[in-house]
């Protein structure tokens, strides 16, 4: 028999194919360990990647970095609601704390219906200067009017004793609260020939910033308190604004109550206790005939005022001054 001869190139291809088929059959029959089969791939394939482990669409899956606690995380937004007041916002303010200034509140003004008239807001106090403040003695000439503010106080009796020694008359501008507390001193002032002046209920400063109704109460109530302390309905001719803070407004209030506004021409600032000699020198250098001197018998320690008065009274007499009341 003559064998047909297969060309060498084809023989090589056939041998390679046979070897490949034989290997595949062996693997299917036995299953090689360590080499995943198609079933094994399906069993061990990871679950469908989640959004946290999947990169951009169509890209290779990647493992997202786990955020450090407190970083890179967001708290879900709660539904809108009115916040609960905190302890700091609900605690009452100290009655002694100074209020913190705040920006003025702007209030929207509702539109008025057609034909209606808008309500007139309260008018602020007028700060126009007063024009009728008295600053002279009643008699003029070489006279002086001594006035004492903020009493009656612990020093009032000493002041009255000194005035009596020199036959001097004076005007006492009294705080309503103090007059109510020391009625005996008020009565002694009148009994010894001196006069009374209204110096408000409790010395508010600055006076002109107070609402009109409060200014009325300060002046009118003090007048009643002084009259009640003195008894016998004494005439109170003057009133004096705390710190000399006179305005056309409070001048009119005093006038409506039958009182005139009393100022001064010499202020040695004895209330600040600058020293006895400073008080004496100030009066001696600034006093002119017909002048009104301002000093204090209440409102604090007035020992310097009393000591200065011991020097000023004999000096005034030596200078030929007569003691007078303010003009009225």
How many alpha carbons lie under 13 Å from residue 104 in its C-beta half-sphere? 3
Q: Is 212 considered catalytic here?
A: no
Q: From CA 179, how far away is CA 300, in angstroms rounded? A: 15
Helix (H) or strand (E) run with residue 147 in it: strand 143-151
Residues of the chain by 3-state class (helix, strand, coil), percent to 5:
40, 10, 50
Residue whose C-alpha is closest to residue 324's, from 174, 135, 191, 140? 140
Q: From CA 283, how far away is CA 302, in angstroms rounded? A: 16
- Contact by Cβ (8 Å): 172, 148: yes
Catalytic residue among 149, 150, 297, 324: 149
Torsional class of 122: left (φ above 0), alpha (ψ -120 to 50), beta (otherwise): beta
Neighbours of 104 (CB within 10 A): 6
Catalytic residue among 203, 296, 297, 324: 296
Q: Is 208 considered catalytic here?
A: no
Neighbours of 322 (CB within 10 A): 16
Quickly list DSSP for 276-297. HHHHHHHHHHH--TTEEEEEES
Residues with catalytic roles: 149, 296
């Amino acid at each position: 028999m003559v064998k047909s001869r297969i060309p060498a190139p084809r023989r090589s291809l056939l041998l390679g194919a046979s070897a490949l088929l034989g290997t595949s059959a062996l693997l299917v029959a036995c299953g090689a360990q360590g080499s995943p089969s198609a079933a094994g791939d399906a069993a061990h394939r990871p679950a469908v990647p989640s959004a946290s482990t999947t990169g951009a669409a169509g890209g290779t899956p990647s493992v997202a970095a786990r955020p450090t606690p407190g970083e890179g995380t967001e708290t879900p937004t709660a539904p809108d609601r009115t916040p609960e007041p905190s302890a700091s916002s609900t605690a009452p303010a100290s009655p002694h704390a100074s209020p913190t200034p705040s920006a003025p509140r702007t209030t929207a003004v509702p539109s008025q219906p057609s034909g209606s008239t808008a309500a007139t807001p309260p008018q602020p106090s007028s700060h126009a200067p007063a024009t009728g403040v008295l600053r002279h003695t009643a008699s003029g000439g070489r006279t002086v009017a001594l006035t004492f503010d903020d009493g009656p106080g612990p020093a009032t009796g000493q002041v009255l004793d000194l005035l009596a020694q020199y036959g001097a008359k004076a005007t006492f501008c009294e705080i309503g609260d103090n007059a109510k507390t020391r009625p005996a001193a008020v009565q002694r002032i009148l009994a010894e020939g001196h006069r009374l002046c209204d110096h408000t209920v409790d010395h508010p400063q600055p006076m002109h910033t107070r609402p009109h109704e409060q200014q009325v109460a300060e002046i009118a109530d003090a007048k009643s308190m002084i009259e009640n302390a003195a008894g016998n309905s004494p005439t109170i001719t003057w009133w004096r604004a705390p710190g000399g803070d006179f305005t056309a407004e409070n001048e009119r209030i005093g006038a409506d109550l039958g009182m005139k506004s009393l100022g001064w021409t010499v202020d040695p600032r004895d209330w600040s206790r600058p020293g006895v000699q400073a008080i004496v020198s100030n009066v001696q250098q600034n006093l002119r005939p017909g002048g009104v001197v301002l000093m204090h018998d209440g409102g604090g320690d007035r020992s310097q005022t009393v000591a200065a008065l011991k020097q000023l009274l004999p000096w005034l007499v030596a200078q030929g001054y007569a003691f007078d009341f303010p003009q009225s």
